[in-house]
Amino acid sequence: MKKIILTAALLASTLPIWSAARYSELPAPLDGSMSLYDFNATEPSALPDSLTAVHIDYVARHGARYLTSESKLKSCEKALQTARERGSLTQKGKDFMKLLESVRSNTGGQWGLLSDIGKEQEWRLGREMARMFPTVFSRDEAARKNGSATGYDAGTSVESVASYVPRVVQTMDIFTVAIADEYPGIDTQSASGHAYDRLTRFFVTDKAYDAWRKSGAWKSVYDDFVARHISTAPALRLVGNHSGLSDNELRKLTYDIYKVLQGMRAASLPAPTDEWMSEAEYRACWEATNLEKYFQYSISPLSELPAEGAKSLLYRLLGNSVDFSDDALGRGLTGVFGHAETLLPFFSLLGVGNPAAPVSDYDALASQWSDAELTPLGANIAVVYAVSASGRKYASMRLNGRNVPPIAGRSDLVVPLADLQDYWLKRLGI
């Protein structure tokens, strides 16, 4: 696959001169759900040599992308233009307007699509999956290396579905081609569209959940958090003291500034974050977005609707595991590609990567629940089915390249498949 890499020199030529000379980047995890996937955290498989991996269920978020639209740019520009008309716009405000135009020009009409970083992420994720679990894709590794078709089982395939959103389709296609590049001749089947909304976009199709997500009882708690934590100072440094903007409007501008800055690294752009905010100010913005996502997409003291919405995905995994128990599930990978909004409720339903109990101290949430850790760009969860020499069936689970216990409350990284099925049935309320 041909990879396109934007060079630092090219970026420097299109961004304001000040950014290359003076800025430094604030900690990457504070980009929240726009954080980049951490390949350095990848662990070897937890499966012992006595088990042979046979099939993988894979559920993933799309890779690193550009901003989805110009909405945040326009929102910032509107506030800055108001300040300019009142003669209150500062030099930093003028510089930020240049930054906004730089983001627009470097995006080049690719709003919402995978960036070059995102494309490389997905290629690497597919390649590393193929190399870590060769027996999933080829029974006879020696035959595969020799180019013999006999290295494949008749049913070996990579079969995936994706949300209709182009960046998700891109993610599925690149990931699949990366595996096929390692195993030429393997069967691949991919499909995308609204037909798969129940799996990939249940946060919209489940009307009760969608209503909660948009305007549930969490909103007043979140608004109070924003009023107490989001500073007006970053906005004031841009618009001055005579902009005519209210405190709420200033906080919104600060938040919009954050929303622009948090996406720059993912778009292969320098991220001059500390030019506009202190680390404490930037962290407060992330903590607010983190709290919002916790309420909208995870089991919380206020609602279990997010987990209810994700049950369609778990039913799919349960069905696949039953097929495997009956020896009907062939070698290969079954994938579902969606969004952060797909994965967070699913993780919550599984009890994976979340606190043992819902968090009620919302000011301390960020130390216990982090969207940056759970759903960075390229986030994924993989259930690996394996067999022993005697035919007994087991399962392990990987979250963003790390081995995690498949059953919440147990420390085992590899569990009998029957135990995992019983646990899933309980999570489904069956």
**Domain of 205, in residue numbers:** 35-65+114-216+303-430
Judge if 233 and 292 occupy the same domain.
Answer: yes
Q: Is the pLDDT of residue 195 over 50?
A: yes
Confidence of residue 16 (pLDDT cuts 50, 70, 90): very low
Q: For the chain, give the mean pLDDT.
A: 91
Rounded Cα distance between 174 and 171, Å, is 5
Judge if 61 and 71 occupy the same domain.
Answer: no
| pLDDT tens digits, 311-362 | 999 999 999 999 999 988 889 999 999 999 999 999 999 999 877 778 899 9
| Among 245, 267, 296, residue at a domain's last position | 296
Judge if 281 and 430 occupy the same domain.
Answer: no
Residue 401 lies in a domain: yes
Rounded Cα distance between 400 and 352, Å, is 12
Confidence of residue 150 (pLDDT cuts 50, 70, 90): very low
Instruction: Give the Cα-Cα-Cα angle 290, 292, 298 (nearest 5 degrees).
Output: 85
Whether the Cβ atoms of residue 346 and residue 313 lie closer than 8 Å to each other: yes
CATH number of the domain bearing residue 319: 3.40.50.1240
Judge if 368 and 342 occupy the same domain.
Answer: yes
Judge if 194 and 49 occupy the same domain.
Answer: yes
Residue 6 lies in a domain: no
Judge if 365 and 417 occupy the same domain.
Answer: yes
User: pLDDT value at position 130?
Assistant: 96
| Among 246, 262, 296, residue at a domain's last position | 296
- Three-class DSSP labels, the chain: CCCCCCCHHHHHHHCCHHHHHHCCCCCHHHHHHHCECCHHHCCCCCCCCCEEEEEEEEEEECCCECCCCCHHHHHHHHHHHHHHHCCCCCHHHHHHHHHHHHHHHHHCCCCCCECHHHHHHHHHHHHHHHHHCHHHHCCCHHHHHCCCHHHCCCCCEEEEEECCCHHHHHHHHHHHHHHHHHCCCCEEEEEECHHHHHHHCHHHHCHHHHHHHHHCCHHHHHHHHHHHHCCCHHHHHHHCCCCCCCHHHHHHHHHHHHHHHCCCCCCCCCCCHHHCCCHHHHHHHHHHHHHHHHHHHCCECCECHHHHHCHHHHHHHHHHHHHHHCCCCCCEEEEEEECHHHHHHHHHHHCCCCCCCCCCCHHHHHHCCCHHHHCCECCEEEEEEEEECCCCEEEEEEECCEEECCCCCCCCCEEEHHHHHHHHHHHCCC
Q: Is the pLDDT of residue 14 over 80?
A: no
Mean pLDDT of 224-245: 97
Judge if 276 and 205 occupy the same domain.
Answer: no
Instruction: Give the Cα-Cα-Cα angle 393, 329, 382 (nearest 5 degrees).
Output: 70
Per DSSP bridges, beta strands 393-399 and 402-404 are: antiparallel
User: pLDDT value at position 355?
Assistant: 78
User: pLDDT value at position 268?
Assistant: 86
Per DSSP bridges, beta strands 414-416 and 393-399 are: antiparallel
| Among 254, 272, 296, residue at a domain's last position | 296
The number of folded domains in the chain is: 2
Mean pLDDT of 87-112: 95
User: pLDDT value at position 389?
Assistant: 94
User: pLDDT value at position 22?
Assistant: 60
Confidence of residue 152 (pLDDT cuts 50, 70, 90): low
Residue position matching structure tokens 């027996």: 135
Residue 3 lies in a domain: no
Rounded Cα distance between 161 and 146, Å, is 31
User: pLDDT value at position 26?
Assistant: 86
In this structure, what are the phi and psi dihedrals at residue 377, rounded to the nearest 5 degrees? -65, 125
Confidence of residue 23 (pLDDT cuts 50, 70, 90): low
Q: Is the pLDDT of residue 6 over 70?
A: no
Residue 120, CA distances (Å) to 68, 112, 127 in order: 19, 16, 11
Q: Is the pLDDT of residue 17 over 50?
A: no
Judge if 266 and 358 occupy the same domain.
Answer: no
Residue 15 lies in a domain: no
Provide the percentage of residues in the chain whose pLDDT is more than 70.
90
Confidence of residue 139 (pLDDT cuts 50, 70, 90): low
Judge if 281 and 401 occupy the same domain.
Answer: no
Residue 25 lies in a domain: no
User: pLDDT value at position 354?
Assistant: 78
Whether the Cβ atoms of residue 360 and residue 346 lie closer than 8 Å to each other: no
Judge if 186 and 156 occupy the same domain.
Answer: yes
| pLDDT tens digits, 372-419 | 999 999 999 999 999 999 999 999 999 999 999 999 999 999 999 999
User: pLDDT value at position 4?
Assistant: 33
Other residues' Cβ atoms within 10 Å of the Cβ of residue 390: 6
Residue 287 lies in a domain: yes
Provide the percentage of residues in the chain whose pLDDT is more than 90.
83
| pLDDT tens digits, 364-373 | 999 999 999 9
Residue 425 lies in a domain: yes
Q: Is the pLDDT of residue 10 over 50?
A: no
Q: Is the pLDDT of residue 20 over 80?
A: no
Residue 8 lies in a domain: no
User: pLDDT value at position 24?
Assistant: 75
User: pLDDT value at position 1?
Assistant: 40
Mean pLDDT of 250-270: 94
Judge if 83 and 158 occupy the same domain.
Answer: no
Rounded Cα distance between 63 and 226, Å, is 29
Judge if 209 and 231 occupy the same domain.
Answer: no
User: pLDDT value at position 140?
Assistant: 66
